[in-house]
Amino acid sequence: MRLTHQHDYKNYLANKRIAIIQKAHHTIHMRVQLANNRLVDKKILEWEDEIPSEVRDPYAPGLIARQILPYNQLATSKDLQRILQHSVITRNPQTQMEATKVINAVTGDITTIETERMVKNLNYVENVLNNANVDIEKYESLVKKLPQSTSRKEVLERCIMTDTPLPANRRQAFLERALERGHNYKGRQYTYKELNQLSRDLERYKTNRLDYETAIMENRQANREGYENVNQEKTWIWSTLENTRHEELDGETIPITSKFEVVNSQTGDVDYLLFPGDVANDHNNCSNICNCQCSYEIN
């Protein structure tokens, strides 16, 4: 089913809103991305150092999560307060407690996903160091000269030493063959561009999730005051972009607390999502989540 002009416009407004919020949080996203680069630099530059066994592992997921948690807490808190200012929710201790729970839940989801990506980056780096001859001094020199946001994957690959110099198009193939000899690879390096895309996907999730939670809070307040739910349904709005997933979901309307049955038409993967980009209910490794430009409307 094709979108109407009205749905087209609603989708445009939804994406514009997310873009504006993301721009407002650019500094926060940049801090997370730079934290990733600092950890990669630390692992490479200290690779040959002897670290006492009693020293805490600086690359432990828990420590990484605690490092980036404050950034996400700040962004989520600002967004929820912005939403509450335009809703019908009455300010009282109960709704404030509900809002705090929402902030903590959404912040935790985003932090967990970002931590997983950063751990995969570190696994990739360790595997390269184990299976390829890396010029660490050259790496150190390059990261001092290049912008802090430069992809560490590109820098690392430029520092792999071989018996004979390799052009860029052959360096990647050499690296892949070196990695095939390893046994501990459990992830891949995310470039700065990919991490930036991850931030956009998580921004979409955060905005959609907070809209959903605000609607649920409004329903709870209405119930406490003896009224029916003010938000009863929600409608999926397809992005209308060419060669994109989820066109068949366009206009589908379901009860607000139900989940959309979302099918990737190319792979057949099925997820049950509360809204577009619902990473908390993603069970197919981003098949129906990443780069999804769909939006939704609460009725």
Q: Give the pLDDT band of residue 262 (cuts 50, 70, 90).
A: very high
| Residue of 293, 235, 289 whose CA lies nearest to 267 | 289
Model confidence at 5: pLDDT above 60? no
Band of the pLDDT at 233, cuts 50, 70, 90? Answer: very high
CB of 242 closer than 8 Å to CB of 170: no
Compute the distance between CA of residue 220 and CA of residue 228 in angstroms, rounded to an integer.
Answer: 9
Nearest to 201 by CA among 80, 74, 111, 291: 291
Sign of the Cα pseudo-torsion (207, 212, 218, 220, in order): negative
Domain ranges in the chain? 5-47+55-231, 232-299
| Amino acid 44: pLDDT | 92
pLDDT in tens, 266-297: 888 999 999 999 988 888 877 888 888 888 99
User: DSSP assignment, residue 245?
Assistant: S
SS3 291: coil
By the 8 A CB rule, do 231 and 218 touch? yes
Answer whether residue 182 shows pLDDT above 70: no
**Beta-carbon contacts of residue 247 (< 8 Å; ≥ 6 apart):** 238, 265
Which of 150-154, 164-168, 214-218, 258-262 holds the top average pLDDT? 258-262
By percentage, how much of the chain surpasses pLDDT 90?
Answer: 27
pLDDT score for 181: 46
Q: Which residue has the tokens 């989940």?
A: 259
Per-residue model confidence (pLDDT) at position 89: 82
pLDDT value at 192 more than 50:
no
pLDDT for 159-180, tens place per residue? 887 655 556 666 566 555 554 5
> Residue 23 has what pLDDT?
60
- Give the residue from 240, 223, 241, 224 showing the smallest Cα distance to 232: 223
Checking if the pLDDT of 38 tops 60, the result is yes
